[in-house]
């Protein structure tokens, strides 16, 4: 068992706190997952997540205000204009977070007898997330610590 040394931090400017405040909003991570899966339309989010229109609208506004997503208007033939949603660069940066959550869930929660979500490379080979230093060397848990 790894015990980390005690470290003081500015809890009001803590990246973990700030990220938890945003990503801890119910539905936000699932909407981001849908975007990474290629879904971008309100109706797709609503159908895939089984979420009410009012809640989905509220979460999309929060995500847009936080600059995780942007919306673009589109119009299908003979239909009213609607919005499609896309990850901003800030939203795309969440790939590491989503990958870490996915990897942990795959190792500790999913039923391996059922199909489950994975991240693979362009050839379909499994990938592994790891910490590396500036020289590109892989680090293990004993090489890491939190500092202020």
Q: What is the pLDDT of residues 69-84, one digit of tens each?
A: 999 999 988 999 999 9
Q: To the nearest whole percent, how much of the chain has pLDDT over 90?
A: 78
Residue 102 is predicted with a pLDDT of 94
Q: What's the confidence (pLDDT) of residue 53?
A: 97
Q: Determine the topology of domain 11-143 in CATH.
A: Arc Repressor Mutant, subunit A (1.10.10)
> What is the gyration radius of the CA atoms in the chain, in angstroms?
19
- Residue 148's pLDDT is 75
Name the stretches of the chain with pLDDT < 50. none
Give this prediction's pTM.
0.84
Residue 103 near residue 110, CB atoms below 8 Å: no
* Alpha helical stretches, state H, the chain: 15-23, 28-36, 42-49, 53-65, 89-92, 95-108
102-134 core/surface letters (b: 16 or more CB in 10 A; e: else): bbeeeeeeeeeeeeeeeeeeeeeeeeeeeeeee
pLDDT tens, position by position, 10-32: 777 888 888 999 999 899 999 99
Beta-strand pair 131-132/69-74: unpaired
The pLDDT assigned to 90 comes to 97
The rounded distance, in Å, linking the Cα atoms of 130 and 137 is 10
């Amino acid at each position: 068992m790894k015990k980390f040394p005690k470290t003081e931090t500015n809890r009001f400017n803590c990246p973990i706190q700030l990220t938890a405040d945003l990503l801890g909003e119910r539905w936000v991570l699932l909407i981001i997952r849908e975007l990474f899966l290629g879904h971008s339309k309100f109706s797709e989010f609503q159908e895939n997540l089984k979420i009410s229109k009012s809640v989905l609208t509220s979460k999309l506004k929060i995500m847009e205000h936080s600059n995780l997503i942007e919306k673009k208007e589109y119009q299908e033939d003979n239909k009213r204009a609607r919005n499609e949603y896309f990850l901003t660069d800030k939203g795309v940066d969440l790939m590491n977070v989503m990958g870490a959550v996915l990897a942990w869930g795959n190792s500790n929660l999913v039923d391996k007898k059922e199909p489950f979500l994975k991240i693979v490379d362009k050839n379909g080979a499994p990938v592994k997330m790891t910490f590396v230093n500036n020289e590109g060397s892989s680090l293990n848990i004993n090489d890491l610590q939190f500092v202020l």
